Amino acid sequence: MKGYINFGTCLNLGFMLLIMSVLSLAVATAFTVVRVKTYRLEETSKLYLKGTSNVNAFTCECQERYQENTIEAEINGGHVRFRRAELLMRPAVFNCHNRKIEADLQKALKADQYPTLKVALTETWMDPKCLEGGCTDWFDVSAKVQITLAGNTRNEHIAAKAKSLGNNRFQISGSKALQMTAFGVTPPEAMFGMIKVNDWINFHFDLSVAVRNNS
């Protein structure tokens, strides 16, 4: 079945919260600095999920669109702590190119009881030189997030690559393997159990982000 399940397409996104890891591009110092940033995800950004079942592979795409959002970043060298860096997602807008599959997804995620998923970015780590804007090529970013799915919250770490595009614009790319049963989600089945989605899926993101400084 083509395009099966998409529980994490926007996670991260979303996993999309990794955009905040480069939002605090300011001079890193030996003491803590608090910055307020506004970010916007550009339309060229891509969020999608890849996984497998016992019969084929599948890809699902995130169709969510977001307005500008403001967060607080507490910077100490290459380490950044975040406040108010939360992203809410609706399972109802996941697009797996098959209405039956999308219905199965919403049922698996208990969308009637939990209509939104939440990803909260808490911390990031990167080379302080890159945080200062001194890296012209791709650089590594490590992020700690809290993911709430079907009422269950887990801490996860995400590895990504980031690059400055100039004019306060950045590109962030990476992927994360997620286990559905770790969140209490039973992988969907189809055709009376003849088709079963594997427990592990991979979320991919390639984001273009515009940033505006508030302070």
Quick: pLDDT tens for 79-109: 888 887 777 778 888 888 878 777 877 888 8
Handedness of CA 34, 46, 88, 189 (dihedral sign): negative
- In whole angstroms, what is the distance from residue 51 CA to residue 59 CA? 7
- In whole angstroms, what is the distance from residue 145 CA to residue 50 CA? 20
Domains delineated in the chain: 11-213 (2.40.128.110)
User: By C-alpha distance, which of 195, 151, 156 is closest to 5?
Assistant: 195
At 37-70, the pLDDT tens digits run 777 778 888 878 787 888 877 778 888 777 777 8
Q: Which residue has the higher pLDDT, 109 or 200?
A: 200
Instruction: Indicate the pTM of the whole model.
Output: 0.74
Report residue 21's pLDDT band, with 50, 70 and 90 as the boundaries.
low
Q: Which two tokens stand for residue 68?
A: 């500008």
Q: What is the pLDDT of residue 13?
A: 45
- The answer to whether the beta carbons of residues 201 and 10 sit under 8 Å apart is no
